[in-house]
Amino acid sequence: MPQTGTTRIWRFGQCPAGNAFADAFTLETGPVPAPGDGEVLIRNEYISLDAGTRMWITPRSDGYQPPLPPGVPMPGLVLGRVVESRAAGFRAGDLVRGFGRWGDHSCVVPAMAALNVLDDTVADPRQHLGVLGMNGWTAYHGITETGRTRPGETVLVSAAAGATGLLAAQIARNMGCRVVGLAGGAGKCRMLVEDFGLDCAIDYKTEDVEQALTRIGGGIHVYFDNVGGPLLDAVLPNMAHYGRVAICGLVATYAAEGATPGPRRFDQVLMRRLSIAGLFSPDFAHRGPEYNALLQPWLRAGRITLPFDITTGLENLLTAYAKLFTGGNVGKVLVKLT
């Protein structure tokens, strides 16, 4: 059945300075695309906003990938339903997740979009963009593989009230670790301890983090870091010997177009025989089913969850996106399409 009507899309224009995202994108209206042979047309229900995408619009040649060319529709992870499929394995009505577009619809080639048909029985399907999706897998991989975390160890998580951080903290807690969170503001810190069972939380906005961390007996065995920057400086001299640092994100430096200062206490890598390693979700996305085999029972049993920070309306997307870089969110930032 050919599609009729109009659809909207956020088109990338130029790299923004800092968080001035309104200078970078324009919302355009056009006809709903007709899927070509091998394509799937999706009505987006939720758009996942992720800090890592900031790199796609930063003019540097040494990021994950070159910046997007001006003029392209902005790509992003979406959750939605198939409207029309001209690709094998997808049928109208299927609940799907994949790399689509910041728009009302996504028209994709499944293999290029990492498109999956999802379990439609999950109580809150948004968790396919949370516990059971890229954030959950990144948290699981970073804690278990990059961080080589063992039960009983002390795990520190930065941006602990953010989507990946909150999941990493809960996974470590479920493994029997002592878990300390770094977050901005007393409200977030209280939530981490009272609602998510962390052992303690440090408000980096008001506390001297390096000093506060010295009170953790035995040092930090694993630091799951989403931030980099001055917090990493505060953590390195508080790591336990043979500790592991999983660099999941460096959000403190994503907007920088040139080099940023390195960790001042890098010498502790040698003195304490630390390991520091980066992780990047596309590298292990193929292991999602393996990770969900653990995460889904935990989700059902109430042993892990992820709250959502929902903004309604595609037209309000940029306001939601900015939250990722200002600490304005708790949990997963999603745009709900109406």
Query: Quick one: which of 124, 208, 267, 290 contacts a second copy (CB under 8 A)?
Result: 267
Tell me: does residue 36 bind a second copy (CB under 8 A): no
Tell me: does residue 211 bind a second copy (CB under 8 A): no
For residues 213-232, which are near a second copy according to CB under 8 A?
228
Query: Quick one: which of 178, 265, 323, 332 contacts a second copy (CB under 8 A)?
Result: 265
Query: Quick one: which of 166, 250, 306, 324 contacts a second copy (CB under 8 A)?
Result: 250
Residues 225 and 231: beta-carbon distance below 8 Å: yes
Q: CB under 8 A: which stretch of 96-104, 148-156, 177-185, 267-275 binds a second copy?
A: 267-275
Tell me: does residue 263 bind a second copy (CB under 8 A): yes
Measured between alpha carbons, how far is 331 from 174 in angstroms, rounded to an integer? Answer: 18
Nearest C-alpha neighbor of 215 from the set 199, 232, 198, 238 = 238
Task: Output the six-digit token pair for 28.
Answer: 């355009």
Q: At what angle do helices 288-300 and 134-141 cross, to 10 degrees?
A: 100
CA distances from 154 to 70, 159, 217, 244 (A): 45, 17, 9, 11
Measured between alpha carbons, how far is 9 from 11 in angstroms, rounded to an integer? Answer: 6
Task: Choose between 245 and 317: whose C-beta lies nearer to a second copy.
Answer: 245
Cα angle 135, 140, 145 (rounded to 5 degrees) comes to: 130
# residues contacting a second copy (CB under 8 A): 34
Nearest C-alpha neighbor of 147 from the set 79, 69, 239, 17 = 239
Q: CB under 8 A: which stretch of 19-27, 112-120, 255-263, 319-327 binds a second copy?
A: 255-263
Nearest C-alpha neighbor of 14 from the set 51, 42, 56, 47 = 56
The pattern of x and - marking residues 275 through 304 that bind a second copy according to CB under 8 A reads: xxxxxx--x---------------------
Task: Choose between 90 and 137: whose C-beta lies nearer to a second copy.
Answer: 137
Min dist CB 279 to a second copy, Å, is: 7
Q: CB under 8 A: which stretch of 58-66, 110-118, 176-184, 299-307 binds a second copy?
A: 58-66
Tell me: does residue 272 bind a second copy (CB under 8 A): yes
Tell me: does residue 88 bind a second copy (CB under 8 A): no
Residues 304 and 295: beta-carbon distance below 8 Å: yes
Tell me which residue has tokens 């304490």: 272
Instruction: Name the residues that contact a second copy, by CB under 8 A.
Output: 62-64, 228, 233, 237, 247-250, 253, 259-280, 283
